[in-house]
Structure 1
Amino acid sequence: MDVPASLHDFSLFRGGPFLLLRRRRRLLQPGRPTLLWRLLALTLLSWLPLLLLTLLRAGPAGIRTFLLDYHVHTQLLISLPVLIAAERYVDQRLSAAVRQLASSELIEAAGLGALDTAARKAKRLRSQGLIEAGLLLVSYALSFMKRFSAQHPEWLFASGGEHLSPAGTWYAAVSLPLFRFLVLWWLWRGAVWALFLFRVSRLPLALKPTHPDMTGGLRFLCVCQGSFSPIIFALACSSASAARRLNHVSPTEDPLRYASPLLALALVALVIVFGPLLPFWSPLLKAKRRGELRFSALAAQHSRDFERRWFEGQAGRPLLGAPDFSSLADLGTAFDVTHRMRFFPWSRWPFLLVTAAAMAPMVPLLILDRQFLSLLLQLVQHLL
């Protein structure tokens, strides 16, 4: 089967004005460590001026509150770099999934052109400059609409306490919009990919009911969706640090209230990440029904021939090494695989990976809690 070249170099990230801006600013050049350069540049742009402006303009109390503001440090030194670094990783996984759709002949030959059309539409949609401009506008609009209250740390405000300090102005005008833009940019790319999967689910799929993954050969799509776990981890880190700063809840004092935002994020993440695979239930159901009917008729015919040969015609034939029994067992295995075929491209590990990514920030926050450390030390002493 001839696979169009556009499916071999499919990418949801190598396009759009965001990429063109990086090229014009010479952030993409042969021989330069592009990802590391971009990661360092954007991270230092968002965080380093906050440190310098706080040291230069704030008093001792402001410096102390900035150094102890783990939400800002988590947001700009952990979540933001992860959002940047995950781009290449996710892009490679999505590109491999598209190539797998074409090379594994899961799409019938008549629908290969439609798959190419769906891929081209996704590329055009990801390159819409107005969309990314709108995302940037929304990112800045949220900063202007939001008013920082007394719940926010002291370093954000000038000595009067009403207006933003120079560091607070940089955070509201540069750091926070940059972080929000990357989050919205990822959501937009995820929506484009979800639309592409929906179009694929409507194509004439050549699903095999006897495929050992029990999803007709589509299990790799669930594994591909698991590659979004770094994005979930970045959002979970920012959400957990924000909830802890606003609620001032200790993990050992109220574990349920402490973990509830992360549990909610885990549930939402599972729906968002694996929801785009739900449209495949219809072709999977059709393939399962078709396979069960065909194997039922084939098994009935095979059983009749087997009984006629062994119970009626050749009663004295040697049993050892007889191929008829092997074929009967193989047919039973194939029928059982078809019967247990799922209606959803399910795989356990991607689900666990996304859930773990959403709950991972719970671990360091628990470790940082002094009461948790004391309880852990008491437990170790008791065991020893």
Structure 2
Amino acid sequence: MRGGLVHRLLHAAGVLHGRAHLSWWLALALLLLCLLPPLLLTAAAGTLLPGGNGMALLGDYATLSRLLLVVPLLVLAAPHADALLRNALRQLGHASLVPPRRSARLERLLQRIRRGRDSWLPELLCLLVALAPFWLAGHAVNLLPGVADWRLHGDQLTAAGRWYEWVSLPLSRLLGLLWLWRFVLWTVLLCGLPRVGLRLHAEHPDGAGGLAFLGLAQERFAILALAGGLLLAGACLNQMHWLGQTLYSLRHLLAGYVIGATALLVAPLLVLMPTLMRAKRHALFRFDALGNRAATVFDQRWQAAGSVLAGDADGSDSLLDHGDASAYADFSGVYQGLARMSAVPFNRWNLAWIAAHAALPLGPLALMAMSVDELVKKLVGILA
């Protein structure tokens, strides 16, 4: 991600210049840094492969999902997310949403966001927060009581456990916190837009006053829902495999996560609801008055057309001599679109996109709960 302490360190190291596919190389480097030493250390200690009395590293679904999937995902998704955000910011300045006399307000808001993005202090705080849990606890926490853990030998950390607690886990937390900081900056931007004084076009064909692009931009944070779903799926797989939990007993947790993650990620857009509702209300008042005049003229033309057909007209213009009917139909279409204008700058497809990202990692839990044959039989029974 551009800006901040991490970006400056990478720039100072020279890895940002002339390097194609930087995110792929960075993801591979972090993956090796986080996962390779624990693999080697557990192999030497005999806790790499499942089959013993306790949970081996390759049988720890929570750890594998975190290091093998979430860490590369957060790195690889960052460039695309930054590009999407830049396009959204560019759209704010080029879509006639801000009157010229208020463009200075928008520029001050954007400068404030850029300062937050480029500051080294927030990312330093993220690093401290990533390290804080182990420092405060002083020891690793066994999340599966009664099950021997590859990280622990008695009450002491193993060599692989020390690497995981001191390096791998803080790095994965740091990546997540950096994404959350970008989410906070985006939320601050959205909260500042109503104070800028947007000039919304209630009759805009996007059905959101010209702000539907913000819903598309919000989809970039679906990666957070996907990453959280992967972490939750790994933890639930451990619970099901080692503690005998069932998919049915976890149903409320899983459903709550999908609903909660989706609601949380779209919640910042709700700050624009009063602005959109006000624009819609004012536009309806204006169009109602204009509609009354249009209906009056149309009615006069309609009556004139009736007189012509009855043969008692004195040569006056009729509805057939003008384009009023077509204009009135066009006006009716615009008014109906205005009446359907959404009060929020997102639609059901934006919600579905984020919810799908949250729910997708939870699919393998069904395979753990039942065999593939049983799953196929149930699907055939439902569809037959």
TM-score (norm 2): 0.88
RMSD: 2.5
Distance in 1 (alpha carbons) for counterparts of 2:177 and 2:379: 44
**Cα distance, 1:330–1:250 mapped onto 2, change above 3 Å:** farther
Distance in 2 (alpha carbons) for counterparts of 1:62 and 1:175: 25
Q: Deviations over 1:53-100 (max 9, x none)?
A: 111233573897112112111110111111111111111111111111
What 5-or-longer segments of structure 2 have no aligned partner? Answer: 309-316
Q: Among residues 195, 199, 218, which one is paired with 2:188 in the alignment?
A: 195
Tell me the residue number matched to 1:360.
360
Letter in 1 for 2:361: P
Q: Percent of aligned positions with the same letter in both sequences?
A: 31
Q: Among residues 155, 161, 181, which one is paired with 1:168 in the alignment?
A: 161
Distance in 1 (alpha carbons) for counterparts of 2:55 and 2:237: 18
Tell me the residue number matched to 2:374.
375
Distance in 2 (alpha carbons) for counterparts of 1:247 and 1:377: 21
Distance in 2 (alpha carbons) for counterparts of 1:244 and 1:64: 12
Q: Paired residues, what number?
A: 368
Q: Among residues 26, 35, 52, which one is paired with 1:38 in the alignment?
A: 26
Q: Are 1:298 and 2:290 counterparts?
A: yes
| Within-5 A mapping of 1:9-20 | 13-20=1-8
SS at match of 2:279: helix
Q: Are 1:137 and 2:128 counterparts?
A: yes
Compute the displacement of 1:25 (Å): 2.9
Tell me the residue number matched to 1:106.
97
Cα contact 1:249–1:257 (8 A) shared by 2: no
Distance in 1 (alpha carbons) for counterparts of 2:54 and 2:13: 33
Letter in 1 for 2:373: S
| Within-5 A mapping of 1:1-384 | 13-58=1-46, 61=52, 65-144=56-135, 145=137, 147-149=140-142, 151=145, 153-158=148-153, 161-246=154-239, 248=241, 254-312=246-304, 315-316=307-308, 322-369=322-369, 371-379=370-378
What 5-or-longer segments of structure 1 have no aligned partner? Answer: 1-12
Letter in 2 for 1:342: S
**Cα distance, 1:133–1:326 mapped onto 2, change above 3 Å:** same
Compute the displacement of 1:308 (Å): 1.8
Cα contact 2:203–2:334 (8 A) shared by 1: yes
Stretch deviating more after TM superposition (241-250 or 128-137) = 241-250
Distance in 2 (alpha carbons) for counterparts of 1:255 and 1:350: 28
